[in-house]
Amino acid sequence: MMEDKKEGLSRRSFLKAGIGAAAAASVSGLMLAGRFQENSLQVWSCGGLAEAFTEANGLYEQKNGIRINYTGAFAAALGKSLLGGAVTEVFAGRVLQLAQTLRNDNKMLYFKPLCFTEYVLITPLGNPAGIQSVQDLVRPGVRVILPLGASPPGGDAVMGILKKANVGQAVLKNMIEKESCVIKMMPAIINGKGEASIVERRLTRQAAFAGKVEVLPIPEALFPPGPLTFTIGVMKYAKDRVLADDYVNFICSGEAQAIFERHGFIPAISAKGRILVETLG
> What is the predicted pLDDT for the residue at 72?
95
Distances, alpha carbon 139 to alpha carbons 105, 130, 162, in Å: 48, 10, 14
User: Residue 121 pLDDT more than 90?
Assistant: yes
Extents of the domains making up the chain: 37-117+226-280, 119-222
Does this chain's domain 37-117+226-280 share its CATH topology with 119-222?
yes
Half-sphere exposure in the Cβ direction for 169 (13 Å, CA): 0
Q: How distant, in Å, are the alpha carbons of 26, 110, 216 from that of 57?
A: 18, 20, 31
Fold of 119-222: D-Maltodextrin-Binding Protein; domain 2 (3.40.190)
pLDDT-derived band at 32, boundaries 50, 70, 90: low
Rounded to two decimals, what is the model's pTM?
Answer: 0.84
pLDDT value for 33: 54
Give the pLDDT score at 183. 92
Return the SS3 of 217.
Answer: strand
Q: Strand order of the sheet with strand 213-217?
A: 197-200, 119-124, 213-217
User: What average pLDDT does this structure show over 28-51?
Assistant: 83
**CATH superfamily for domain 37-117+226-280:** Periplasmic binding protein-like II (3.40.190.10)
